[in-house]
Structure 1
Amino acid sequence: MSDSQPGPSGLQKFSSPKKKRARCSLSSSEKTVICNIYKTIEEMWPKDSFIYSKDVAKKTAETAGVHLSTVYRIIKEYRTHKRVSSPTQAPKKGTIMDKLDDMTLSGIRRKVHMLFFDNDPPTIEKVLNLVNEDDSLPSFKRTTFQKVLNKLKIKYLKRSRRSVLIEKEEIVRWRFYYLQKMLRMREQRRKIYYLDETWVNEGHTKSKIWQDLSIESARQAYQEGLSTGLKAPSGKGKRLIVVHIGNEDGFVENADLIFESKKGEGDYHREMNSKVFEEWFSRTLEKLEPNSIIVMDIPHIILDAWNEFLL
């Protein structure tokens, strides 16, 4: 409600409503209200006034809280077209995101997976350099490129075991076979030892990396010529290789094997050659209970070394 002040006769005097800002676009319904106010005042105004039309327009502007020029413009629009309309919205300017087609987005995605194939943790700087150096792809600024990655569902997240969900079908079958066999061994109450290797990196690996969340299965990755992500380890610098064996009772005493990798980068599994493995495994067998079972991650602990040991 408008502010009121007492008039000279004791009656309250109401001030006119605040005017709208200049250049404020009015909707068709607001224009219709102004037209109705103008028509009502026009019918009530004395017809013998010398400046009849100007007074009606001025009174309409004061009553509606708009500028006088706005009233003239709306009345002219109505008299010309016999109707009033809302202002047309100016078309939005297209951004670079709107101009990216599927082929361009696919090319950017492949740059990310090039690093995945090399087991190199992708960063915005690495991928951005690869994209900007490619003449077939547009150049981006860092802030814009981050939006492009989000559009591709490539996000910076904490590493997880999500890769288990997108393994190949043959790996899933092998795991099923392994679980069945382990169940039989436990029913026979045989002693089970677990043998595996790990590594400790000088700078260790990153806890968060860029991940392509659009890859839902290994089959999809294969069909699209993409990867399923990084394979550990992905850290840089010197690393120690650690091999040990144990069970629910703990690690076997004095059965650890620890040595420094001579390769600072790349696949650390190749550091375990047949000679090193054979010497260590022969010493370890003497410390295990007879008729026991050894569970070992063959694909990851140098299959060649194991085959040579058996021969």
Structure 2
Amino acid sequence: MSPHTSTDRRRAFITGASGQDGSYLAEHLVADGMEVHALTLSGERAADLPDGVVLHHGDLTDVAATRALLRDLHPREIYNLAAISSVALAWEQPDLCAEVNGLAAVALMESAWLIAESTGQDVRFVQCSSAEIFGEPSESPQTEETPLRPLNPYGAAKAYAHLMAGVYRSRGLHTSSLVLYNHESPRRPTRFVTRKITSTVAAIAQGRATELVLGNQEARRDFGWAPDYVDAMVRAARHDVGGDYVIATGTSHSVRDFVAAAFSHAGVTDWERFVRTDPALLRPTDPTDLRGDASRARVVLDWEPTVPFDEIVGRMVDTDLA
């Protein structure tokens, strides 16, 4: 018998564990006393994962290998965080984005369903979706009923997986799809615009850089605190029934607002002279204003955001100043 086939212990499986959300989620689950297994790409850095997490190296697009691993582990909770997370990269490699963010996510749901069917065991599946599925939304704020109209390959692939979560829910699998709006922390990689802003602002404040180069500064996003959004994932997995949930603060700020808050926290007043717009960084299409209504999550999951915008920015700047 495989050493992992016992179902006596509460076991969780996380994909995309080397990212910002994966590390916070692993910490949350370990603190809950769960046995946590994490899938990362070979060579991926997973420095923020807590002790005790069992790492498995593999590729989510290798469906057969991932399915065999899941059959071996029999996890009670599966969290799919793996994705081509950069919209810019999704434009460069739309086929890869479709495979990872769409097809591989659905294959993972199928694996969860097969385990539940073959063992009679209750398996909880959480799909991390994105506000990008709404594209240029028909209403603001957006709810779980807002029509999907993605504007980029990333949003289109996420929309497919989001819809398939509903299909698997109707098939009997406890599946939740969380429509996550922008959520930030000091663990956000510098390839993301928010961390690019705070790290560059800190460098400018300390005399290590002279300019911050950005694309569209007028795009408005709903910025939350990443550990809060991880908490919503766990609440969804452990609710009596699966469902779709918008996870957001309900307030939007422009990229320019984020820049101003970062410079202000770093004590730089005449900040505008340090900021330059590079047309090469502008996306082919970019939603102008994404803002979510998390009423369902507040009522059903008893969830709410805990960290305001200025404090999120401040915490990120403080980390980069240090």
Q: TM-score range by the shorter chain?
A: under 0.3
**TM-score for the superposition, normalised by structure 1:** 0.21
Q: Return the index of the structure with the highest Cα Rg.
A: 1
**TM-score for the superposition, normalised by structure 2:** 0.21
**Structure number with higher relative contact order (C-alpha < 8 Å, ≥ 6 residues apart):** 2
